Structure 1
Amino acid sequence: MNALIGMPQGAEWLVILAIVVLVFGAAKLPDLARGTGQALRIFKNETKGLKDDDEAPKPEAARPTELPPISSVDESRTDTTLQDRQTDNRNG
C-alpha cells in the first residue's frame, strides 16, 4: 500500500494543527470552529429538508375557487344604471 494515500496519524495531526494555528491565529480558532459547526448544522438541516420533500406525497392540483362578488350592490340595479348611462350618452 502507498503511505501517501492514507489518513493522517499521530504526529501528522500535530503538524496540521500547528499550520492551522499559524495561518489563522489562536484567537480566531474558536470563531472558526463555531462558524464551521453552524455551517454543518445548516447543511444537515437543508439536506434533511430536501429528503423530506422527496418523500412527501405530491398534492393534488389546486382547483380554481369561485371569486366573491365585487360589490354588494344589487346586480339588477347595476344593469339598469349601466343602461341608463348608455342611453344618456347616446341622447346626449
Structure 2
Amino acid sequence: MSRNDDGPPALERKRRSWAMDEKRRIVDESLEEGASIAEVARRRDLNTNQLFTWRRRFAACCARCVRHDPAGRTGAVAGGGRGFP
C-alpha cells in the first residue's frame, strides 16, 4: 500500500475531556425516574456506550465507598467516593 502525502489532510478527531463533576451530573440525570439513557446521551452529544460505562464505574466506586456500621446504618466513607477512574 502506498502513502499519498499530496492529498488533503485527514480530519483529526480530538477526544473530549469531561470533568468528574460533569460526569456525575450526567450520570445522575440518566438515573432519574423515567429518564432515557439514549436521550440523555443525545442531549449531551455523548455516545450511549460511554454513558453506560460511566454509570457502571460510578456504581462500582460507590459500592466500594459505602460501609456498614455495627448499628446497621450505612454511610459514605470520608472522601465521598473520589476513587472513580
TM normalised by structure 1 equals 0.30
Return the index of the structure with the highest Cα Rg: 1
TM normalised by structure 2 equals 0.32
Which structure has the highest helix share of the two?
1
